A and B are shown apart, each in its own frame.
Chain A
Amino acid sequence: MASISIGTIAELTSAKVVCGNKGKSCLVEKAFSSDLMSDVLRLESENLLLITGLANLQAVRTAEMADISYILFVRGKQATPEMVALAKENGITILETGYSLYKTSGILYSAGLKPVF
């Protein structure tokens, strides 16, 4: 299955890696775009990138519970120091881009990142 490195995802979306692993070995196969954590908690996929504009502590907690290792915050939303600390504690990589949810999803979909469904 095709997979994309976090470094490439950051490059394609002009995103900044705020914390976590950005090495070429950090590979992601699928992504899910949502601001609704209730929907994120229903997913069963692993090795997933969560693309969201919901920049609060619950987005990071949701990722922790759902075994999601990568979060990309869109629309210029920034992770607070508390969110970064929680992400680091759980080995979660956080990226931030100024692009919209639609643009970010479109770019990554075109690059071969698969949808969950």
Chain B
Amino acid sequence: MNLEYTFKVEGGNFSKAGVASSDVKKVLKKLNVGPKTIRRIVVSLYEAEINIIAHAYRGEILVKISENKVETTLKDSGPGIEDINKAMEEGYSTASPEVREMGFGAGMGLSNMNKNTDKLEITSEVGVGTTVKLMNWI
């Protein structure tokens, strides 16, 4: 089994936030993946999706589902992250007041992604963008 899905994400458009995560959840349910594993995968994907909307101009999500794992790559064009280690710290955030009004931007997203993935890789170039890779065994 090798399934691939791509989604476009528009920076700042909160009305579409979660569309990719929701579609992936439906696919994983159909594949009879355990509910706890699905929850970890979609929570981390949702956090990453929100991050593109909150911080970047635009991005693309590529989800690859195989027999034993789900690998997701989220690549955005945006300001990038200056200090990834600092961004991983709980409570550290550069989110705008608008993002905070939506119930996010508390500086918990990256650590929650780390908690809910089996492997998390973040690479970023300031002024260019950020690429986040999430991997979970299923």
For B29-47 the 0/1 string (1 means CB < 8 A from A) is 0000001000100110011
> Across the interface, do A58 and B43 meet the contact criterion of CB distance under 8 Å?
no
> Across the interface, do A58 and B14 meet the contact criterion of CB distance under 8 Å?
yes
> Across the interface, do A35 and B103 meet the contact criterion of CB distance under 8 Å?
yes
Interface size on B, residues (CB 8 A): 24
> Across the interface, do B106 and A36 meet the contact criterion of CB distance under 8 Å?
yes
Assuming the contacts A65-B43, A66-B43, asked whether A59 and B103 have C-beta atoms less than 8 A apart, the reply is: yes
Interface size on A, residues (CB 8 A): 19
Residues of chain B with a CB closer than 8 A to A41's CB: 43, 46-47, 108, 112
Number of A-B contacts (CB under 8 A): 63
Residue of B nearest to A90 (CB): B22
Residues of chain B with a CB closer than 8 A to A56's CB: 14, 102-103
Residues of chain A with a CB closer than 8 A to B109's CB: 38
How close is B98's CB to chain A, nearest CB, in angstroms? 12
> Across the interface, do A67 and B103 meet the contact criterion of CB distance under 8 Å?
no
Residues of chain B with a CB closer than 8 A to A67's CB: 35, 39
Interface of B with A (CB < 8 Å)?
A: 14-15, 17-18, 21-22, 25, 35, 39, 42-43, 46-47, 50, 102-109, 112, 115
